[in-house]
Structure 1
Amino acid sequence: MNYKFVYFLIALSLSFFSCEEDKKANLNGNAFFGGEIINPNSNFVVILKDNKVLDSVYLDQNNRFSYTFKDFDPGLFRFYDGKEFQSVLIQPNDSLMFRLNTIEFDESLVFTGIGEKENNFLIELFLLNDKLQDSVLKISQLEPKEFEEQLNAIRKQKQDKLDAFNEKNETTEIFNKLAQAKIDYNYYYSKETYPFINYRESEYQIFSELPEDFYNYRNDVDYNSVLLREYRPYVSFLRVHFNNLALQKHFQHSDDSIYNNQSLEYNIDKFNLIGDKISDTFIKNRLLYYNMVKFINGSENDSDYEKLLELFKEKSTNKDQIEKASKLVNTYKRLKPGNTIPNVTVIDKSDNFLSLKQIIDKPSVIYFWDVSKRYRYHLKDVHLKAAELSEKYPEIEFIAINVNNISTREQADILQRNRLKLINEFHFKTPNEAVDLLAIRPINKVFLVDKNANIVNPKGNMFDIKFENELLGLINK
């Protein structure tokens, strides 16, 4: 047992929650929120609601912070430590503290105080779902009926935990909705992804073999839930759900039988379905924007950009997102093959400032990495893949660039911890500007450039089966 940690929690309880009833009376319907962050990624914590920043709170000398919610609507809020996000349920009269270590961000997160039980349970469900994800992927290769049976057993395991928790504790309506939604929408998500990850000849074949009642739960989906619109299980479900709906509709009026997410006609179907089914402007606009950016980042056809952008402008009411999407389209026009790569400034391992063009003197692959937890596997995988291809194709230079606002020392430490070599490693002088200028999202996108720094492909993927053919073409260019 970690007695030091136990003593810490006791101290927090004595300091902040010595008398819960008094605290509730003192708060007068407001809520207190604070915490301690071990190994902080920055010196502040950002608090958000509905994707809007409410406030930024600086950490003190002990890496602690506190914040009071006043005249607020109860529900899900998010906090951000500079690299990671996590959700927290805040209700009137809560006095909630947490402690976490950024090295194991979610796994180390523990709440204490008024509201602790509900939030600790939600985190427990979150971690359980992550733990069971590999099992869901495995059973997704089964026949539909057997897949359903095993998925139902996984859902029951979570439901039993919630039912047992509710028997022991007096819980609020908001908590029950959130906990139930986490179980239900993770279940729905797994059923929606089944046609996309099952090893069949085509998605069309899979749809034709599904039981008639396979998607009956769709009758229970709330497309306009204000409570859930920032909730990860709900957001993830909606994304794949509309992929699925659009594909089923697309198969009805096309000769296609295989999923092609860069088909313009398929994406038009998706945008129309989103516009028809969702009335909440926040949910609708964000889903449209997510799919617009995804299409732009994947498509190689300029005219398709423009056509879908026009439909996006028609469907969306978010002027900021429309401007960003338009800007991204223009960015890719500048990044067309044949154009010279933008001359952003990078920093090498000796802290020298160099232009991107300066470090290119032979055919090159430029790849990117991010220190955020969500990309922890990509960091290692992309470096190992680059090393493998570099040995196979010595005529090509492989250049790695970190996209975070970190120092050269931090960059070296991260690579060393992951047992990776500090070879051809750089980071941007102004990361945010460079990420926008080079449209570095998704993070697995790479640039192929010739010896004169002219773009050959601005949307390469080292893990694509065709990538080595592209390398051979680059060598022979």
Structure 2
Amino acid sequence: MRTLFMKFNFLSLILLLVCSLFSCKDDKDETGVNEAFIGGEIVNPNSNYIVFKKADVPLDTVFLNSENRFSYKLSNFEPGFFGFFDGREYQNILVEPNDNLLLRLNTIDFDESLVFTGKGARENNFLMELYLKNEKDDENILGLGQKDAEEFDSIFRESRDLKLKKLEKLKAKYNTSPFFNEIAEKSINYEYYAHKELYPLANYKISELDAFNSLPEDFYDYRENIDYNDEDLKDYSPYVSFLRFHFNNIALQKHFSHSKDSEYNKLDLHYNLDKLELIDKYVSNEDIKNNLLKFVISQFITFSKNTEHYDAILESFKNKSTNLEDIKVSTQFINSYKRLKPGNRLPQITLLDNKDKEINLNELIKKPTVVYFWSKKNKNHLIYSHKRVKELNVKYPEFNFIAINVDSISYKEQVRILKRNEVRINNEYRFKSPKQSKLTLSVKPIQKVFILNKNGEIVNAKANMFGIVFEQELLGVLNQ
């Protein structure tokens, strides 16, 4: 960590300048106007801009200068979490009045390299350290799932207690703000609670129903004190993740109580309806409730192939969400997926080839076909999907593999992006009308893949070329 801070000598000079410009103070400005400054350097940037967000709503797009540095000023804001997006990855920053934060990160190791200096840095570095430690704890949970509930709990409780001790030392040494102290303590506790919520699903030795039945009576005592409407934490991942896991869990318990099921099926219609009902019952904050409801229906319609269940889940969602845009988008996606069920042909979609000639997607399907998508905004997927198709093309020459770019770009730019990322250029097309075409084909997430048989009929509209069953699906098409 010290070596990373040594790299900030040049930024320290900037910080002094910033402080003089904005009259750095330890207390709130006497005028009552909240101000804060965020600046820094992005090494190996994914784009030439940074998008700052609040509650997932874009505030500003800030462009990098020739040295990949940026600066941004906040005024008249409520303290809390602000997000920044570099074109590929997203992270939170805690900002309080009169903070002067400078950050440095290398996109090759995005989270691991992110370090702050300046006023507000101690708090954000502590939260970042928590974030990375939580990731390691998450990786360990499946390996600990076979332990009994008491031993499982003791391991994560010990981790929680160590984090709380570090927080107490930070508070005592630097007199951190009450706002930060409360947020950090809640974050630590909610991460611990999230692991406990996951225990019945991580225990692969017995069914989920048996796992619930074997829990100590006090295992979920903390549930009595859950704040389902924490305005300060509504945009913070440990809290949001906890709520998702929690509602998954209590919905499953409810589902077991009125069904004959004993094992977890995340795509069961009645289980998901139970989840929507419980979110509606316990959460009153509109932002938190709407985001949780949207996550449930998005997961269901993205992964469920049972189109007969879509209307029921949509009707329940519409009765509970107050976000009209979420309702509109969910309705559009469900209508699209209904048209894309197995046995149907693809809708009429116009593509552009390497000569800007228009061609209908269905005209390209003359044998078993895989259609995949990519975007310049997702560099990792762009590279890995093309490399994966290169492998598959050798193993399954009977298939035609069609790549479609979803951005509004020229063929010249399309080729430039592919060459820059050192991937093979083969069978590449782009949408003539990207926005409408993405909606018609429900290209969300970008990783989704279509598998079509030789007659151009949909076999799977939600395939995953990196999944363990993908090649089995391809073989199934060839054996038809």
Q: Which whole-Å CA distance do the structure 2 matches of 1:137 and 1:425 have between them?
A: 40
Say which SS state the counterpart of residue 338 (structure 1) adopts.
Answer: coil
Q: CA deviation at 1:425?
A: 6.0
Q: 1:385 to 1:253 in 2, by over 3 A?
A: farther
Greater alpha carbon shift after TM alignment, 296-305 vs 214-223 = 296-305
Any idea what SS the aligned residue of 1:87 has? strand
RMSD, matched Cα: 3.2
Residue aligned with 1:249, SS: helix
- Which of 106, 110, 116 pairs up with 2:115? 110
> 2:310 is matched with which residue?
305
TM-score, L = length of structure 1:
0.87
Question: What does 1:198-237 correspond to in 2, within 5 Å?
Answer: 198-237=203-242
Instruction: List gaps (5 residues or longer) in structure 2.
Output: none
Map of 1:259 onto structure 2: 264
Query: 1:226 Cα deviation (Å)?
Result: 0.5
Match of 2:255 in 1: 250
- Conserved in 2, the CA contact under 8 Å of 1:48 and 1:78? yes
Asked if 2 retains the 8 angstrom alpha-carbon contact of 1:182 and 1:234, the reply is yes
Q: Which residue identity is paired with 2:417?
A: E
SS at match of 1:57: strand
Structure-2 residue corresponding to 1:410: 417
What SS class does the counterpart of residue 142 from structure 1 fall into? coil
Identical columns (%): 47
Cα distance in 2 for residues equivalent to 1:111 and 1:383? 36
Partner of 1:20: 24
Matched, 1:472 2:475: yes
Deviations 1:145-187 (A, max 9, x none): 2211212222223222222222211111221122122211221
Match in the other structure for 2:330: 325
Q: Structure 2 length normalisation: TM-score?
A: 0.87
> Is the CA contact (8 Å cut-off) linking 1:336 and 1:455 kept in structure 2?
yes
Separation of aligned partners in 1, 2:171 and 2:353: 55
SS at match of 1:255: coil
Q: How does 1:326-365 map to 2 (within 5 A)?
A: 326-344=331-349, 356-357=361-362, 359-365=364-370
Counterparts of 1:171 and 1:345, CA distance in 2: 58
> How far, CA to CA, are the matches of 1:105 and 1:346 in structure 2?
35
Q: CA deviation at 1:317?
A: 1.1
CA distance in 1, matches of 2:307, 2:448: 18
Q: Tell me which moved more, 165-174 or 405-414.
A: 405-414
1:97-122 CA-to-partner distances (Å, cap 9, x unmatched) read 22223232222222222211111211
| Residue 235 of structure 1, CA deviation | 0.9
Map 1:373-384; keep pairs closer than 5 Å: 376=380
Select 2:454's aligned residue among 445, 451, 456: 451
Aligned partner of 1:36 among 41, 44, 50: 41
> Residues 61-118 of structure 1, C-alpha deviation per residue, up to 9 Å, x if partnerless?
4333333222221111112222222111111122222222323222222222221111
- 2:342 counterpart SS class: coil
Describe the SS at the equivalent of 1:227.
helix
Q: Is the alpha carbon distance of 1:475 and 1:349 closer, same or farther for their aligned partners in structure 2, counting shifts above 3 Å?
A: same
Structure 1 residues 2 and 326: alpha-carbon distance in aligned structure 2, compared to 1, 3 A threshold: closer
Contact 2:353–2:429 (CA under 8 A) maintained in structure 1: yes
Report deviation, 1:367.
Answer: 3.6
Q: Structure 1: 5+ residue runs without aligned partners?
A: none
CA distance in 2, matches of 1:251, 1:333: 29
Tell me the matched-pair count: 471
Q: Distance in 1 between matches of 2:250 and 2:111?
A: 32
Do the aligned partners of 1:23 and 1:95 also contact (CA within 8 Å) in 2? Answer: no
Partners in 1 of 2:433 and 2:65 — Cα distance? 27
Identify if the C-alpha distance between structure 1 residues 49 and 366 changes in structure 2 by more than 3 Å, giving closer, same or farther. Answer: same
Deviation by residue 1:208-253 (Cα, 9 ceiling, x = unmatched): 2222222112122110000111111111111121111111000001
* Preserved CA contact (<8 Å) 1:445 1:459: yes
What is the alpha-carbon distance in structure 2 between the residues aligned to residue 91 and residue 137 of structure 1? 37
CA change 1:2–1:209 in 2 (3 A) is closer
